[in-house]
Protein backbone atom coordinates (compact mmCIF):
# COMPACT_ATOMS: atom_id res chain seq x y z
CA UNK A 1 0.00 0.00 0.00
CA UNK A 2 2.87 2.35 0.78
CA UNK A 3 4.54 1.60 -2.55
CA UNK A 4 1.29 2.32 -4.37
CA UNK A 5 0.93 5.67 -2.60
CA UNK A 6 4.54 6.55 -3.33
CA UNK A 7 4.07 5.70 -6.99
CA UNK A 8 1.00 7.90 -7.13
CA UNK A 9 2.93 10.72 -5.48
CA UNK A 10 5.76 10.43 -8.01
CA UNK A 11 3.31 10.39 -10.89
CA UNK A 12 1.56 13.46 -9.44
CA UNK A 13 4.86 15.36 -9.19
CA UNK A 14 6.37 14.33 -12.52
CA UNK A 15 3.35 14.81 -14.77
CA UNK A 16 2.90 18.50 -15.67
CA UNK A 17 -0.54 17.70 -17.12
CA UNK A 18 -2.09 17.21 -13.68
CA UNK A 19 -2.17 20.96 -13.10
CA UNK A 20 -4.68 21.37 -15.93
CA UNK A 21 -7.30 19.18 -14.25
CA UNK A 22 -10.14 21.04 -12.53
CA UNK A 23 -10.87 19.26 -9.26
CA UNK A 24 -13.25 19.77 -6.36
CA UNK A 25 -11.44 20.88 -3.22
CA UNK A 26 -14.55 21.31 -1.10
CA UNK A 27 -18.03 20.11 -2.03
CA UNK A 28 -21.43 20.24 -0.39
CA UNK A 29 -24.69 18.61 -1.44
CA UNK A 30 -27.66 20.69 -0.31
CA UNK A 31 -31.14 19.11 -0.44
CA UNK A 32 -32.64 22.17 -2.16
CA UNK A 33 -33.58 22.78 -5.80
CA UNK A 34 -33.17 19.12 -6.64
CA UNK A 35 -30.13 18.24 -4.53
CA UNK A 36 -28.00 21.32 -5.28
CA UNK A 37 -24.26 20.63 -5.52
CA UNK A 38 -21.98 23.42 -4.26
CA UNK A 39 -18.23 23.05 -4.62
CA UNK A 40 -15.01 25.04 -4.53
CA UNK A 41 -12.64 23.95 -7.28
CA UNK A 42 -8.94 24.57 -7.69
CA UNK A 43 -9.58 27.14 -10.42
CA UNK A 44 -11.96 29.02 -8.13
CA UNK A 45 -9.40 28.93 -5.33
CA UNK A 46 -6.62 30.33 -7.50
CA UNK A 47 -8.90 33.03 -8.87
CA UNK A 48 -9.57 34.09 -5.28
CA UNK A 49 -5.83 34.01 -4.60
CA UNK A 50 -5.30 36.21 -7.65
CA UNK A 51 -7.92 38.67 -6.40
CA UNK A 52 -6.18 38.73 -3.02
CA UNK A 53 -2.83 39.52 -4.65
CA UNK A 54 -4.39 42.32 -6.71
CA UNK A 55 -5.91 43.83 -3.57
CA UNK A 56 -2.61 43.49 -1.69
CA UNK A 57 -0.72 45.09 -4.57
CA UNK A 58 -3.03 48.09 -4.55
CA UNK A 59 -2.73 48.45 -0.77
CA UNK A 60 1.07 48.27 -0.93
CA UNK A 61 1.19 50.90 -3.67
CA UNK A 62 -0.94 53.42 -1.74
CA UNK A 63 0.97 56.64 -1.02
CA UNK A 64 -1.12 57.74 1.97
CA UNK A 65 -0.58 61.40 0.92
CA UNK A 66 3.22 61.08 0.96
CA UNK A 67 5.26 63.21 -1.42
CA UNK A 68 7.58 60.37 -2.39
CA UNK A 69 6.01 57.00 -3.02
CA UNK A 70 7.55 53.63 -2.33
CA UNK A 71 8.78 51.20 -4.96
CA UNK A 72 5.39 49.52 -5.16
CA UNK A 73 3.73 52.87 -5.80
CA UNK A 74 6.22 53.86 -8.48
CA UNK A 75 5.84 50.55 -10.32
CA UNK A 76 2.04 50.78 -10.12
CA UNK A 77 2.03 54.34 -11.43
CA UNK A 78 4.35 53.38 -14.30
CA UNK A 79 2.11 50.46 -15.26
CA UNK A 80 -0.97 52.67 -14.95
CA UNK A 81 0.52 55.39 -17.15
CA UNK A 82 1.70 52.91 -19.78
CA UNK A 83 -1.68 51.21 -20.16
CA UNK A 84 -3.49 54.57 -20.08
CA UNK A 85 -1.30 55.86 -22.89
CA UNK A 86 -1.91 52.76 -25.01
CA UNK A 87 -5.69 52.86 -24.50
CA UNK A 88 -6.08 56.57 -25.23
CA UNK A 89 -3.87 56.33 -28.32
CA UNK A 90 -5.68 53.30 -29.74
CA UNK A 91 -9.20 54.63 -29.09
CA UNK A 92 -9.26 58.39 -28.40
CA UNK A 93 -8.79 60.54 -25.28
CA UNK A 94 -12.52 60.82 -24.54
CA UNK A 95 -13.74 57.26 -25.11
CA UNK A 96 -10.41 55.83 -24.02
CA UNK A 97 -10.80 57.43 -20.61
CA UNK A 98 -14.30 55.94 -20.38
CA UNK A 99 -13.21 52.35 -21.03
CA UNK A 100 -9.78 52.55 -19.40
CA UNK A 101 -10.81 51.28 -15.91
CA UNK A 102 -12.22 48.07 -17.38
CA UNK A 103 -9.24 47.49 -19.67
CA UNK A 104 -6.79 48.19 -16.86
CA UNK A 105 -8.59 45.83 -14.47
CA UNK A 106 -8.70 43.11 -17.14
CA UNK A 107 -4.97 43.53 -17.84
CA UNK A 108 -4.04 43.29 -14.16
CA UNK A 109 -6.32 40.28 -13.68
CA UNK A 110 -4.70 38.36 -16.55
CA UNK A 111 -1.18 39.46 -15.58
CA UNK A 112 -1.45 38.37 -11.94
CA UNK A 113 -3.03 35.03 -12.80
CA UNK A 114 -0.36 34.37 -15.42
CA UNK A 115 2.39 35.10 -12.88
CA UNK A 116 0.74 32.86 -10.29
CA UNK A 117 0.60 30.10 -12.87
CA UNK A 118 4.40 30.26 -13.29
CA UNK A 119 4.97 29.11 -9.70
CA UNK A 120 6.04 25.43 -9.71
CA UNK A 121 3.25 22.98 -8.82
CA UNK A 122 0.67 25.76 -8.84
CA UNK A 123 -2.49 25.97 -10.95
CA UNK A 124 -2.64 28.10 -14.11
CA UNK A 125 -6.22 29.36 -14.20
CA UNK A 126 -5.73 31.28 -17.46
CA UNK A 127 -4.72 28.05 -19.23
CA UNK A 128 -8.34 26.87 -19.16
CA UNK A 129 -10.40 27.75 -22.19
CA UNK A 130 -13.60 27.97 -20.13
CA UNK A 131 -12.22 31.06 -18.35
CA UNK A 132 -10.55 32.76 -21.31
CA UNK A 133 -13.55 32.10 -23.57
CA UNK A 134 -15.89 33.62 -20.97
CA UNK A 135 -13.72 36.75 -20.92
CA UNK A 136 -13.42 37.02 -24.71
CA UNK A 137 -17.13 36.31 -25.31
CA UNK A 138 -18.15 38.95 -22.75
CA UNK A 139 -15.84 41.56 -24.25
CA UNK A 140 -16.85 40.93 -27.88
CA UNK A 141 -20.54 40.88 -26.93
CA UNK A 142 -20.17 44.13 -24.99
CA UNK A 143 -18.31 45.78 -27.87
CA UNK A 144 -21.05 44.67 -30.29
CA UNK A 145 -23.82 46.05 -28.09
CA UNK A 146 -21.98 49.36 -27.68
CA UNK A 147 -21.43 49.51 -31.44
CA UNK A 148 -25.16 49.11 -32.14
CA UNK A 149 -26.07 51.66 -29.47
CA UNK A 150 -23.70 54.25 -30.88
CA UNK A 151 -23.91 53.66 -34.65
CA UNK A 152 -27.15 51.74 -35.16
CA UNK A 153 -27.40 49.78 -38.41
CA UNK A 154 -24.34 51.62 -39.71
CA UNK A 155 -22.39 49.23 -37.50
CA UNK A 156 -22.88 46.60 -40.22
CA UNK A 157 -20.57 48.65 -42.45
CA UNK A 158 -17.77 47.06 -40.44
CA UNK A 159 -18.43 43.90 -42.45
CA UNK A 160 -17.98 45.65 -45.80
CA UNK A 161 -14.32 46.03 -46.85
CA UNK A 162 -13.33 49.34 -48.40
CA UNK A 163 -13.28 49.31 -52.19
CA UNK A 164 -15.05 45.96 -52.41
CA UNK A 165 -16.37 45.05 -55.90
CA UNK A 166 -20.14 44.67 -55.98
CA UNK A 167 -19.92 41.14 -57.40
CA UNK A 168 -17.80 39.94 -54.47
CA UNK A 169 -19.78 41.81 -51.81
CA UNK A 170 -21.94 38.86 -50.57
CA UNK A 171 -18.95 36.53 -50.30
CA UNK A 172 -16.72 39.06 -48.54
CA UNK A 173 -19.48 40.09 -46.12
CA UNK A 174 -19.97 36.41 -45.21
CA UNK A 175 -16.22 36.00 -44.68
CA UNK A 176 -16.03 39.14 -42.54
CA UNK A 177 -19.05 38.02 -40.51
CA UNK A 178 -17.48 34.62 -39.80
CA UNK A 179 -14.21 36.34 -38.93
CA UNK A 180 -16.02 38.66 -36.51
CA UNK A 181 -17.72 35.72 -34.78
CA UNK A 182 -14.45 33.81 -34.66
CA UNK A 183 -12.96 36.48 -32.42
CA UNK A 184 -14.97 35.05 -29.55
CA UNK A 185 -13.05 31.80 -29.89
CA UNK A 186 -9.67 33.03 -31.13
CA UNK A 187 -9.10 35.60 -28.37
CA UNK A 188 -9.71 33.08 -25.62
CA UNK A 189 -8.02 30.20 -27.40
CA UNK A 190 -4.77 32.08 -28.01
CA UNK A 191 -4.38 33.06 -24.36
CA UNK A 192 -5.22 29.58 -23.05
CA UNK A 193 -3.00 27.84 -25.61
CA UNK A 194 -0.02 30.12 -24.94
CA UNK A 195 -0.25 29.67 -21.17
CA UNK A 196 -0.71 25.91 -21.48
CA UNK A 197 2.26 25.62 -23.84
CA UNK A 198 4.43 27.74 -21.56
CA UNK A 199 3.53 25.72 -18.49
CA UNK A 200 4.10 22.41 -20.24
CA UNK A 201 7.59 23.49 -21.28
CA UNK A 202 8.70 25.22 -18.09
CA UNK A 203 7.07 23.01 -15.50
CA UNK A 204 7.82 19.85 -17.42
CA UNK A 205 11.49 20.78 -17.45
CA UNK A 206 11.48 21.73 -13.74
CA UNK A 207 9.56 18.63 -12.63
CA UNK A 208 11.87 16.39 -14.60
CA UNK A 209 14.97 17.85 -12.96
CA UNK A 210 13.42 17.72 -9.49
CA UNK A 211 12.49 14.08 -10.01
CA UNK A 212 16.00 13.20 -11.19
CA UNK A 213 17.65 15.03 -8.29
CA UNK A 214 15.46 13.34 -5.68
CA UNK A 215 15.49 9.81 -7.10
CA UNK A 216 19.04 9.46 -8.43
In-domain check, residue 4:
no
**For residue range 99-113, what is the model confidence (pLDDT) as tens digits?**
889 999 999 999 999
In-domain check, residue 79:
no
In-domain check, residue 62:
no
**For residue range 59-99, what is the model confidence (pLDDT) as tens digits?**
888 877 676 777 888 888 888 899 999 988 888 877 788 88
Three-class SS state of 1: coil
Q: Is the pLDDT of residue 34 over 80?
A: no
Average pLDDT score over residue span 49-60: 89
**For residue range 171-187, what is the model confidence (pLDDT) as tens digits?**
888 888 888 888 888 88
The answer to whether 147 touches 158, Cβ cutoff 8 Å, is: yes
User: What is the distance between the alpha carbons of residues 169 and 92, in angstroms, rounded to a whole number?
Assistant: 31
Q: Where are the alpha helices (DSSP H) in the chain?
A: 2-14, 42-60, 71-90, 93-117, 129-151, 169-215
pLDDT at residue number 26: 76
Model confidence at 5, in pLDDT bands (50, 70, 90)? very low
Query: Among the listed ranges 52-56, 175-179, 208-212, which one has the minimum average pLDDT value?
Result: 208-212
User: What is the distance between the alpha carbons of residues 96 and 196, in angstroms, rounded to a whole number?
Assistant: 32
Task: Please provide the average confidence, as pLDDT, over all residues in the chain.
Answer: 78
In-domain check, residue 170:
yes
**Which domain range does residue 169 map to?**
128-216
In-domain check, residue 202:
yes
pTM of the predicted model as reported, rounded to 2 decimal places = 0.74
CA atoms within 13 A of residue 98's CA, in its CB half-sphere:
5
Q: Is the pLDDT of residue 52 over 90?
A: yes
Total domains present in the chain: 1
Amino acid sequence: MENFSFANLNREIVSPLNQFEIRDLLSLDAPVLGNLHISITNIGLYLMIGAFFILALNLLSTNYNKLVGNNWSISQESLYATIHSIVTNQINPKNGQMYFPFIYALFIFILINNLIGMIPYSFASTSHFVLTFALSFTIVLGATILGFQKHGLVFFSLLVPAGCPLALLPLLVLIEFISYLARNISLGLRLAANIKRRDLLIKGWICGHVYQDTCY
